[in-house]
Amino acid sequence: MNTRSPQPSENFTPITNNPEAQADGFAHVRNAHESEIAEDYVELIAELIDLHGEARPVDIAERLGVKAPTVTKNISRLKAAGLVHREKYRSVFLTDKGRTLAEVCRERHRIVVAFLMSLGIDEATAVRDAEGIEHHVSDATLAAFKNQIDWPV
């Protein structure tokens, strides 16, 4: 386990002094927010299918803490993106593309949770915090998390 605390280089410029870097950072966050809802939905749908054999919109709404019309609107978006399929008044199921995305999201979530717990954060807090972090972490940072916790490649 790496125990040294890296320090910024002498050439480090605070992001507020570098407008282009700041704009890139905000663009990255906006892009992450765009995919965040889809990722949360497919991950939850996969979990519900694993638990109950299906993902009912009412269960999705309950677990996400949203109203049924919100779920209906987002399921329509997921269907248009080729991530889910369903018939009117039926359960929601993942397409192959949706299952692949769900697995990527689950793996990223597990790595972030394990990394946070390796820092001494309790599991409940790590799980809650990972819900936000997992959507914004870069591939390079995720690889560093995996390396730090000796996660299997």
pLDDT(122) > 90: yes
Supply the mean pLDDT for the chain. Answer: 86
pLDDT digits (tens, 9 = 90+) for 24-49: 666 656 665 568 889 999 999 999 99
User: What pLDDT score does 23 carry?
Assistant: 72
- Residue type at 13? T
Beta strand spans in 14-106 (E): 84-85, 93-94
Burial class of residue 99 in the structure, from the number of CB atoms within 10 Å of its CB (0-12 exposed, 13-18 middle, 19+ buried): middle
**Residue scoring higher pLDDT (21 or 13):** 21
> What pLDDT does residue 58 have?
95
Domains and CATH numbers, the chain: 19-148 (1.10.10.10)
Q: Which two tokens stand for residue 73?
A: 């609107």
Distance CA 97, CA 94 (A): 8
Strand positions, DSSP E, 41-151: 84-85, 93-94
> Which of the two residues, 66 and 29, has the higher pLDDT score?
66
